Amino acid sequence: MTQNLLFLTGKLAEKSLNKVLSEVQENPKTPPFKYRIEQIGVSVAALMTPDLIARRVKQTGDADKVIIPGLCQGDLTKLEAQYGIPVERGPEDLKDLPQYFGHAGVEPDLSRYSVQIFSEIVDAPYLSVAGVIKKAEQFRQQGANVIDLGCLPGVPFPHLADTVKALKQLDFKVSVDSLNTDDLLTAGHAGADYLLSLTEKTLWIADEVASTPVLIPAKPHSLASLYRAIDLCIKNGKPFIADAILDPIHFGLTDSVVRYQKLRKKYPDIQIMMGIGNLTELTDADTTGINALLFGIISELGINAVLATSVSPHAVNAIAEADIARRMMFAAKQDSRLPRGYSNDLLGLHDRRPFTYSEDEIREIAAQIKDPSFRIQVSESGLHIYNRDGLFEHTDPFALYPHLKVDDDASHAFYLGVELARAQIAWQLKKRYAQDQELDWGAASEAQNKIAKTAHREASLKEKRNKNR
């Protein structure tokens, strides 16, 4: 059945929207639809609000659905009640409409995953019980399934049992990582769910407590000793997880990946863990790409759990990135597709389509402007700022200042300085820029403070009023 879609937009976007929709409609891969565009009298589509739309659009005609700009903020339920049909936000940039239709308006399902994240608190012995709980809550919010308490060689952990019990009372799953048998026994008797890391020589601990052991080789790189521990657990009917140990780059990384492949091939049905901190923490590279690649390997090998850390400043978002990567790889594997088009949250520094408008398109939009408000856009060639007085282009914001004539308006100058700085960063890094929106840093992005954005302007106006008095 052909859908009738009503698109609401502003004056400046109307022509571009019609052009993009015509191209989408002509694409044979697009499900058939009819559309009508209604320009509701605002210059910028992002300035629309549900209340404004409700006042200016009384009827929707024969439309089956209303599509509003993606940057339009507010609750849409009142509009749906008024019109009696679905009201939906489109993409934030109208140039993304082809992709929007390609997914039939449905976001990829990233609710599922198959890998459990064990998030290690490596300095647990130095923290109070309250300090451990605070960090555990942070890791849980980032996606951790199990909180791992790391014990340090030669460092006493007298409150280990109390820490495990406190976490369990708060419904955390808990693992304890130590090579000290006393620590492992204490943790097991306190109720730890998992014990890391047991070998064939310390596997007797698993008979003393109910905790699930995570097995490692008794000697580095010795798969034979790991196999013996696995076989003993299988023989005794004891649940376990096996870890072949992932080594850092130049200290056996490639060989260790091969070990995991051999482990999975020999035991196709067992639970396997991979510790990924040796790469995310010990490589001076952004952890987004490292996590994406690692979870691709993890997905191919059917690995069931990872031990992740977030210690180094450059790995501050490693747990959250691991959560995104496991969901993205699970969805791609289920769909038998490449891991593209599922999420932008691991694209921290760059975007796949950073420049959606060409120089010519920006000049065409700028020619329509009849008011003094500045608009800023970025194309492949640089920064573009324009109002009714003209269009100015450069790659250096300082070169644009003489054209802006805001030397007697500190608030406006400050605003334009912030926006042009963002635009320059976006151009340099090949990122998407949208005026009045913070740059999207993927998993590292924080919620935008929309009040702060206008507070400086209000303060400036108040200062001017006081001076006039």
**CATH number of the domain enclosing 58:** 3.40.50
Q: Specify the pTM.
A: 0.83
Torsion sign (Cα): 306, 310, 315, 317: positive
> Above 50 in pLDDT, residue 104?
no
226 and 305, same domain (yes or no): yes
Q: Is 51 among the domain residues?
A: yes
SS3 326: helix
* Mean pLDDT of the region 440-447: 84
209 and 128, same domain (yes or no): yes
67 and 121, same domain (yes or no): no
pLDDT digits (tens, 9 = 90+) for 143-191: 999 999 999 999 999 999 999 999 999 999 999 999 999 999 999 999 9
78 and 173, same domain (yes or no): no
Given a contact cutoff of 8 angstroms between Cβ atoms, the answer to whether 392 and 362 are in contact is: no
Residue % of the chain over a pLDDT of 70:
94
Q: Residue 34 sits in which domain range?
A: 3-102
Q: Around Cβ 282, how many Cβ atoms within 10 Å?
A: 13
324 and 364, same domain (yes or no): no
Point out the domain boundary residue: 69, 102, 135. 102
Given a contact cutoff of 8 angstroms between Cβ atoms, the answer to whether 50 and 79 are in contact is: yes
33 and 134, same domain (yes or no): no
Point out the domain boundary residue: 335, 351, 368. 335
User: CA–CA separation, 376 vs 410, rounded Å?
Assistant: 18
| DSSP category for residue 32 | P
Q: Is 351 among the domain residues?
A: no
Q: Is 281 among the domain residues?
A: yes
Sheet with 87-89, side-by-side order of all strands: 33-39, 3-9, 65-68, 87-89
Domain count, the chain: 3
Report which of 341, 353, 391, 365 is spatially closest to residue 19, judged by C-alpha positions.
Answer: 365
For 302-409, where are the alpha helices, taking DSSP H only?
A: 318-335, 359-366, 397-404
7 and 61, same domain (yes or no): yes
Backbone phi and psi for residue 277, each to the nearest 5 degrees, phi listed first: -65, -25
User: CA–CA separation, 78 vs 84, rounded Å?
Assistant: 10
User: CA–CA separation, 389 vs 279, rounded Å?
Assistant: 53
454 and 391, same domain (yes or no): yes
Q: Is 111 among the domain residues?
A: no
Query: To 10 degrees, the CA torsion angle through 186, 192, 197, 198?
Result: 70
44 and 129, same domain (yes or no): no
Point out the domain boundary residue: 286, 320, 335. 335
User: CA–CA separation, 420 vs 427, rounded Å?
Assistant: 10
Given a contact cutoff of 8 angstroms between Cβ atoms, the answer to whether 192 and 164 are in contact is: yes
pLDDT digits (tens, 9 = 90+) for 365-389: 999 999 999 999 999 999 999 999 9
Residues in the chain: 469
pLDDT digits (tens, 9 = 90+) for 241-300: 999 999 999 999 999 999 999 999 999 999 999 999 999 999 999 999 999 999 999 999
192 and 121, same domain (yes or no): yes
315 and 224, same domain (yes or no): yes
